[in-house]
């Protein structure tokens, strides 16, 4: 696998696997992330995937060396990373996210439709039939950066961001779609809401989604929304 390693700080480094956001690079990011998860080197504190990178935070004190810990780590990793190859397309995990579109849950659905010269139903249809990949989790706990939305439903951010966007809101910003895991301020156009929790701080894996997952948005009615929300209690 081709890569470059560069320091991020004096106890972290970034492994870069390409320049552009693509499926191929995404597969490499996933491969390198799993490499660290499988090996659990005792000097690694944690790894954080980006769109084209994997950052490694490490403890220099745990690296026995007469030279610089960073140099030692690079020399150790280089042959291992070189040998690493993406073995075909690993079957991604598919996560279904139920969404109740429009109404009070998606106050901007009509605006997105008007902006693109579509009907509300067409927007729902396009959004729920897309094939989406989670590139990374960031910005907020459990917040997925999702690629793969059709440009036919792209819409600019609101000029006047909302101070409070409820957790579970599904939105569109430019060519991206996303789901808000916790209540935050934000400028996304809201088209719906999911009753599915994306962030559960008491679990081992607090985020429903992980980098590399595939997402399917499944339209549900308001009754189904309420039922799922009740069942989760």
Partner 1 sequence: MIKITKPGLLTSVQDLGRYGFQKYGVITSGVMDTTAHRIANSLVGNAENEATLELTLLGPDMEFREDTLISICGGNLSPSIDGKPVKLWRSVLVSAGSKLKFGGCKTGCRAYLAVAGGFDVPEVMNSKSTYLRAGIGGHNGKALQNDDELSLGKPSELSEKIAKVLAAQFGENKFVEMQWTISSDFIASSASKPLVRVIKGRQYDWFTIESQMKLFTEHFEVTSQSDRMGYRLKGPELALEEKQEMLSEAVSFGTIQVPSEGNPIVLLADRQTTGGYPKIGQIATVDLSIMAQLKPGDKVQFVEVSHEVAQQLYLDREKKLHQLKQGIALKIRQETK
List interacting residues with partner 1 (CB under 8 A).
Answer: 6-12, 14, 21, 33, 45-53, 55, 57, 60-61, 68-70, 136-143, 145, 181-182, 184, 199, 201-202, 205-207, 210-211
* Minimum CB distance to partner 1, residue 116 (Å): 24
121-to-73, 112, 126, 149, 224 alpha-carbon distances in Å: 54, 11, 9, 16, 18
For partner 1, the closer CB: 124 or 209: 209
* Minimum CB distance to partner 1, residue 223 (Å): 30
* Minimum CB distance to partner 1, residue 55 (Å): 3
The 10 Å Cβ neighbour count of residue 133 is 19
For partner 1, the closer CB: 204 or 223: 204
For partner 1, the closer CB: 137 or 190: 137
* Minimum CB distance to partner 1, residue 120 (Å): 31
For partner 1, the closer CB: 47 or 177: 47
For partner 1, the closer CB: 53 or 177: 53
Between CA 180 and CA 99 the distance in angstroms is 12
Residues near 123 by Cβ (< 8 Å), separated by ≥ 6? 101, 109, 112, 113, 116, 153, 191
**Which residues face 178 on adjacent strands?**
171
Candidates 29, 76, 12; CA nearest to 212 is 29
* Minimum CB distance to partner 1, residue 37 (Å): 9
The 10 Å Cβ neighbour count of residue 204 is 5
CA dihedral 197, 203, 207, 209 (to 10 degrees): -90
Q: For 199, which DSSP code?
A: B
């Amino acid at each position: 696998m081709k890569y470059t390693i560069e320091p991020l700080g004096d106890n972290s480094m970034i492994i870069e696997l390409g320049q552009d956001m693509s499926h191929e690079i995404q597969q490499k990011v996933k491969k390198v992330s799993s490499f660290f998860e499988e090996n659990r080197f005792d000097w690694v504190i944690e790894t954080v995937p980006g769109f084209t990178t994997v950052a490694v935070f490490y403890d220099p004190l745990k690296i026995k060396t007469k030279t610089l810990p960073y140099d030692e780590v690079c020399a150790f990793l280089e042959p291992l990373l070189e040998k690493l190859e993406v073995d075909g397309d690993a079957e991604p995990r598919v996560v279904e996210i139920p969404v109740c579109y429009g109404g009070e849950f998606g106050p901007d659905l009509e605006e997105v439709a008007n902006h693109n010269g579509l009907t509300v139903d067409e927007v729902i249809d396009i959004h729920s039939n897309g094939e989406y990949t989670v590139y990374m989790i960031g910005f907020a706990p459990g917040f997925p950066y999702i690629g793969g939305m059709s440009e036919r439903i792209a819409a600019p951010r609101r000029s006047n961001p909302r101070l409070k966007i409820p957790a579970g809101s599904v939105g569109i910003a430019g060519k991206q779609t996303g789901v808000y895991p916790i209540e935050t301020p934000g400028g996304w156009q809201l088209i719906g809401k999911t009753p599915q929790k994306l962030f559960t701080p008491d679990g081992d894996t607090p985020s429903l989604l992980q980098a590399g997952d595939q997402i399917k948005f499944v339209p549900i009615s308001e009754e189904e929304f309420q039922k799922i929300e009740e069942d989760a209690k």
